[in-house]
Structure 1
Amino acid sequence: MSTTHTDTVTWNDKAFDEIAANDAGRPVLFTNARVLTMDPLIGTLRGADVLLVGALLVGVGPGIITAAGDDNAIVVDCTGMTVVPAVVDTVALVGGRGQRSEYVGTLTPGNTGDLLVVPDEFAPDVAGAQAMLLTRPQEVRALIANGKPVLWAGTDAPDRSTAPEAGIPAAEDLTGSPRVGVWIDRNDFLYQELTADGRYDETRGGRPHAYEGRYWIDGDRIDYLDDLGFWAFGEFRGDELRHAGYAMRLGADSRS
């Protein structure tokens, strides 16, 4: 942790030091908080705990603190604080989700640990708490994304995740990549050729060059920028490339 941040931390500084040095996968427990879960089943809790293990929220409610010692959890005292989701599912807010399991961004066990901690007086509701990020970030006690601090005690956390640089990246040289080649769907309808210079060329239903453009691979995700100007994506799953409802595999190009 940087010296500058250590000097300015005035809220749960010991806990923050432990989180910053947490290489052993210790759970992190935010305790004794008012928790606005936005989960229709759980609702709002007072004097409650939120337990994170890695990037996953595994428990919410009163009494989890009793097990903190058993699991060697890092304890963050949130007395006088409100914990809210850092991400709001506006579709769910207006009743647009049919099932609770489809809700995104609630503080529900099993969801990703994205949460915001602010003093009670700045959190009349979830919207008010989230507004603090833009209007008074110095009052934010913690912003957690995927279980890791982004802000702490009103300042940037060291080694925080940062957004990708804006703009379209340069093409990569993918010579030798096992994902370069012609991907063919099971019905022999779609042929998608990925070339080593970062270009793709699709044949659909025998229609050559139906779509052409650039692509970038990030882990198991592939992003496409078509020459017509639209963006699309796909996912590599095992030996398949899933894109726009098609499941493709690398194969020999049988087009004449």
Structure 2
Amino acid sequence: MTITLTDADTMSWNPEALDEILANDEGRPVLFTNARILTTDPLIGAMVGADILFVGSLIVGVGPGIVTAAGDDNAIVVDSTGMTIVPAVLDTVALAGGRGRRSEYVATLAPGNAADFLVVPDELADDVPGAVATLLTRPDQVRALVATGLPVLWAGTDVPGRATAPETGVPAAADLTGSPRVGVWIDRNDFLHQELTADGRYDETRGGRPHAYQGRYWVAGDRIDYLDDLGFWAYGEFRGDELHHAGYVMKLG
């Protein structure tokens, strides 16, 4: 069977709803209604004629009948008749049956998870891989791609002001003068001393052996990325006054 979808079919898809979502500064819920939803969640499964409701970046409801309360919460309603909604982040291990417990599943369309999903016509979504293939091979036919509650693609085109991928490549070192994270971090057993300097360099002493590892580092929020002079990458995480890295827990000395 040949599937024929016209540009007019795509471009006329819910333009008013998109305008409302982009102007949503009041935290109104957003409801995609009357869709076929393939949640990939083993408890919830797949549903037809169902709704997915999210507030901000999180899904708060999935299933039939949610639209009946849309007026109570002043929700923005997106009519998704004839559409299939699937996770935008594909858990290939789960699809292959390789997750032993439901709690191990990644990025399912279950309440409490991030509102990351893809909306494509039923004809182009026999299953989850088929729907994702539409995004990769026929993006003009995608009705919506939503990332943490924010539209990225809509009606086959980029959404104005959408997020864009960071520039590829190793960034220049930042000037971290005055940063509270600059200094010597020491683990609980006094084995690892990791010095973070204001010019974006690190220098590790391990078991009294100086310069065991040296390289560059970058801090983004509570995450620290390391690029060692030997060529490998590593990372750490700041948790309160502690730095967690490769099994070590350090504090400023």
SS at 2:250 equivalent? strand
2:54 equivalent to 1:52: yes
Q: Which runs of 5+ in 2 are unaligned?
A: 1-9
1:64 to 59, 66, 80: 66
The one of 118, 133, 136 aligned to 2:135: 133
Matches of residues 233-248 of structure 1 in structure 2 within 5 Å? 233-248=235-250
What's the counterpart of residue 207 of structure 1? 209
- Per the normalisation by structure 2, the TM-score is 0.94
Match of 1:26 among 20, 25, 28: 28
Letter in 2 for 1:158: P
* Matched AA of 1:140: V
1:133-155 CA distances to partner (integer Å, 9 max, x unpaired)?
A: 12111100000011100000000
Q: Partners of 2:249 and 2:74 in 1: how far apart? A: 45
Secondary structure at the counterpart of residue 18 of structure 2: helix
State the aligned residue count: 244
**Cα separation, 2, equivalents of 1:184 and 1:54:** 39
Between the aligned partners of 2:103 and 2:72, the Cα distance in structure 1 is: 30
- What is the CA–CA distance in structure 1 between the aligned matches of 2:132 and 2:213, rounded to whole Å? 41
When normalised by structure 1's length, the TM-score is 0.93
1:94 equivalent among 72, 96, 117: 96
**Greater than 6 Å deviation, 4+ residue runs:** none
Which stretch of the first structure deviates more once superposed, 62-71 or 30-39?
62-71
Equivalent residue for 2:231, pick from 207, 219, 229: 229
Q: 2:154 aligns with which of 147, 152, 155?
A: 152
Alpha-carbon distance between aligned partners in 2 of 1:65 and 1:19, rounded to the nearest angstrom: 17
Aligned with 2:81 (options 65, 79, 82): 79
Q: Give 1:9 shift.
A: 4.6
Give CA deviations for 1:154-211 in whole Å, capped at 9, x if unaligned: 0001111111101100001111111100111111111111000000011112221111
Cα distance between partner residues in 2 of 1:212 and 1:91: 36
Q: CA deviation at 1:70?
A: 1.3
CA distance in 2, matches of 1:233, 1:91: 24
The alignment's C-alpha RMSD in Å is 1.1
Q: Please state how far the C-alpha of 1:63 moved relative to its aligned partner.
A: 0.9
Question: Structure 1 residues 86-95 or 55-64, which shifts more?
Answer: 86-95
